[in-house]
Chain A
Amino acid sequence: MTDKFISIEAIAKRYPGAGGATTTVFENLWLSMARGEFCCVIGHSGCGKTTVLNILAGLDAPSEGAVIVDGQAISGTSLDRAVIFQSHALLPWRTVLGNVAYAVSSKWRNWDRVKVRAHAQTFIDLVGLTGSEHKHPSELSGGMKQRVGIARALSITPKMMLMDEPFSALDALTRGTLQDEVRRICLETGQTAFMITHDVDEAIYLADKIFLMTNGPGAVLAEVVENPLPRDRGRTDLHRHPLYYALRNHIIDFLVTRSKTFAAETPGHDPRNVPLVHIGKPGLSIASNEEQRQTWISGTSPGLTA
């Protein structure tokens, strides 16, 4: 796939450090996404994931390099790129409907109240909050607040969605439901999505591509892992797929050991041509290791169910 809907080209972010020195969070970072693709970024805290997302959103400017969206270099924020914030960032003095309507009326400035409300209501219904339109954020649970955040982001029918650990503050059950919903909505509307997560299973369930970032400072994009699981995967039978553990172990190995040592062990790493990893395909050493692991797991599972 050569269609680059989003292309991050050689961006760097530097902050003035202590004593006149500069701290480089990352430099010469290249990354691209195709239209309709769902991409997750995984990396340790402080490696610069939020910085990349803010640059993509236009909330922050890179020290060097550029971001090209749909053939155009971006400058500043845009209604084409909706952000779902980790802390949901709802305006507490507005109701659920008011929060979504604020976004709708920002996009379509000449719409009248009735039209704005009707449009906002559609998206409140879409995220399953029908009946809570007139509640204030303080009256909602964490999961419901994040649903409003999702409705607000979707209501402006963006070309892409940027999500910074959107579910990390939620309990496991709510997180699961919202993952299902985000996946369904993104597939239905053909959204291009960029999501930061700490949760490996979340990335495996949602992502088409997983970006692995090494530890900062001076973080690099080490690998792009293609998700080998079929597009119509379900959350409950994810772990039954023959390549699930291979994929999961590859990511966890990276997080546990390789994210620290990557820079030292891979001197010839070309940030412009980051290796694309196909789990389970011949030619990669991890595939053969994982086959043994696979048999070992299927061997133990009858014992577990008995």
Chain B
Amino acid sequence: MMTTSSLRLRAGLVSIALLAAFLGIWHLATRSTAPVATMSPEYAKLMGLTATQGKSAMPGPLDVGAKLWQHLKRPFYDNGPNDKGLGIQLAYSIARVGTGYLLAVLVAIPLGFLIGMSPLLSKALDPFIQVLKPISPLAWMPLALYTIKDSSISAIFVIFICSIWPMLLNTVFGVASVRKEWVNVARTLEVGTVRRAFTVILPAAAPTILTGMRISIGIAWLVIVAAEMLVGGTGVGYFVWNEWNNLSITNVIIAILLIGIVGMLLDQILARFTRMVTFPE
């Protein structure tokens, strides 16, 4: 007990030290060092701070921190299509991921149950799943745009299609590999198919299903950034692309940081659900 808590404390200290070292090196590397060139004021204005004050093109941690503070103070402002608060952009992305993901849950889990419980369906559908699974979700994008004709729904469709496979395969596997003796217990108690599915197969397969759901949410969050870069309009992916076009590297770095944090939170939520349904044997 004591050793684990002291290990955690030491690990925390090392983490903080590493972060401080990283920020320090970053700061030193982007500090103004280059000699200041003498030039006419008009030319200097054109060239920007990089040339006039020896400022690095890469923002330092202090710039990023200051900018982040601005974003955090006003996360939800809306000044038209190309200038929305980061909070709004993240909310768009999370809403798309949430919708596509929930639709995938609604399809993958019941379908996975059916396939897992029927050896015939399982064999018959296997070739389709094997072919569809390795397709990059972004490859569906043109087809989605062409048939759906709405960029926002197309992004949701891409999320749907990329999150369905891990959930479907894990549900099939979890349902098909429920211990036979547990099923036999239900059979000797004359438990009907529906009640058996809910009282034996679902709890037994739940940890495997949740593991698939956790993999899916990770993939969905990876894909949404790329999808939004393609379809544009709103979302954190579009924000990154737009800020790159504005050459605002500071905002790109902030977006990267927030994408990472939101991804971690989504993963942690699913990890918590997984722990809730896991049973020791």
Contacts from A to B (Cβ < 8 Å)? 57-59, 76-79, 81-83, 85, 87, 89, 91-93, 102-103, 106-107, 136-138, 156
Contacts and interface: CB of A to CB of B under 8 A. Distances in A.
The 5 A-B pairs with the shortest beta carbon distances in the complex, nearest first, are A106-B189, A89-B181, A93-B279, A138-B280, A92-B279
Interface in B199-214: 199-200, 203-204
6 contacts: A59-B184, A59-B188, A85-B185, A92-B280, A93-B277, A102-B189
Contact of B191 (A83, A93, A106): A106
Contact-residue bracket for chain B: 10 to 19
B190 A89 contact: no
Nearest to B277: A93
B67 interface: no
Given A92-B280, A138-B280, A156 B189 contact: yes
B184 A85 contact: yes
A82 B281 contact: no
Given A85-B181, A89-B181, A89-B182, A59 B199 contact: no
B189 A103 contact: yes
A87 B280 CA distance: 16
Contacts of A138: 279-281
Contacts of A91: 182, 185, 200, 203-204
B187 interface: yes
Given A93-B279, A136-B280, A82 B181 contact: no
Interface in B246-281: 277, 279-281
Given A91-B182, A92-B281, A138-B281, A83 B188 contact: yes
A93 B188 contact: no
Candidate in B181, B189, B204 with the most chain A CB atoms within 10 angstroms: B189
B182 A77 contact: no
B180 to A, nearest CB: 9
Contacts of A107: 189
Nearest to B279: A93
Contacts of A76: 187
A107 B191 CA distance: 9
Contacts of A103: 189
Interface string B155-191: 0000000000000000000000001011011111111
Given A89-B184, A89-B185, A156-B189, 8 more contacts: A76-B187, A79-B188, A85-B181, A85-B184, A92-B280, A92-B281, A106-B189, A106-B191
Nearest to A83: B188
Contact of B188 (A57, A87, A136, A137): A57
B184 A83 contact: yes
A110 to B, nearest CB: 14
Contacts of B280: 92, 136, 138
Contacts of A78: 188, 190
A92 B191 CA distance: 18
B22 to A, nearest CB: 43
B190 A102 contact: no
Nearest to A93: B279
A156 B191 CA distance: 13
B188 A81 contact: yes
Candidate in A77, A87, A103, A106 with the most chain B CB atoms within 10 angstroms: A106
A137 B182 CA distance: 13
Contact of B187 (A59, A87, A137, A156): A59
A77 B203 contact: no
Given A87-B181, A91-B200, A77 B279 contact: no
A106 B181 contact: no
A89 B191 CA distance: 16
A85 to B, nearest CB: 6
Contacts of A85: 181, 184-185
A85 B191 CA distance: 17
B210 to A, nearest CB: 13
A138 B279 CA distance: 9
Contacts of B182: 89, 91
A93 B191 CA distance: 18
B158 to A, nearest CB: 36
A103 B277 CA distance: 22
Contacts of B191: 106
Contacts of B187: 58-59, 76-77
Contacts of B186: 106
